[in-house]
């Protein structure tokens, strides 16, 4: 499984979005490899235009989702501390997404540079 970050969903939804991102996402969807998590769902759907909401909601409704347990939040806090101590300060939601991917043993597909910065510190797979 590949946890698809909001940066990919947003780029793929743009009319003038990066074709490589669109093709990459399409391949993951066709192979049933794409998965979501609640923070990504909220970021994408929360920022969606009115005319996009129903289409995205239906698409997200058929994808598997990694749920966020209390232990995941605690691990994310630990990862945030490790990152901060290493001088890496990503947004909290990126730390949570990375933590969920690590817990599930899956890669993250993202355009967001924070994931590449987190990789050497907490071992998130890209």
Residue 28: CB partners within 8 Å, gap ≥ 6? 2, 4, 34, 109
How far apart, in whole angstroms, are the C-alpha atoms of residue 44 and residue 48? 6
| Residues 42 and 74 grouped into a single domain | no
User: What residues make up the domain containing 105?
Assistant: 70-122
What is the CB neighbour count within 10 angstroms for residue 27?
Answer: 12
Question: Are 91 and 113 within one domain?
Answer: yes
pLDDT tens digits, the chain, 126 residues: what are they?
A: 999 999 999 999 999 999 999 999 999 999 999 999 999 999 999 999 999 899 999 999 999 999 999 999 999 999 999 999 999 999 999 999 999 999 999 999 999 999 999 999 999 999
Is residue 75 located within the same domain as residue 56?
A: no
Return the pLDDT at 31. 97
Same domain, 14 and 31: yes
Residue found under tokens 């966020």: 68
Do both 54 and 90 map to the same domain?
no
**How many domains is the chain built from?**
2
Q: At what angle do helices 50-61 and 6-13 cross, to 10 degrees?
A: 130
């Amino acid at each position: 499984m590949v946890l698809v970050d909001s940066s990919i969903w947003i780029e793929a939804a743009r009319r003038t979005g990066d074709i490589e991102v669109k093709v990459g996402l399409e391949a993951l969807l066709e192979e049933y490899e794409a998965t979501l998590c609640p923070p990504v769902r909220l970021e994408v759907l929360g920022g969606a235009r009115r005319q996009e909401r129903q289409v995205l909601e239906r698409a997200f409704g058929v994808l598997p989702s990694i749920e966020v347990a209390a232990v995941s939040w605690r691990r994310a806090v630990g990862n945030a501390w490790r990152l901060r101590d290493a001088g890496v300060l990503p947004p909290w939601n990126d730390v949570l997404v990375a933590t969920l991917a690590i817990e599930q043993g899956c890669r993250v597909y993202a355009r967001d540079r924070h994931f590449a910065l987190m990789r050497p510190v907490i071992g998130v797979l890209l």
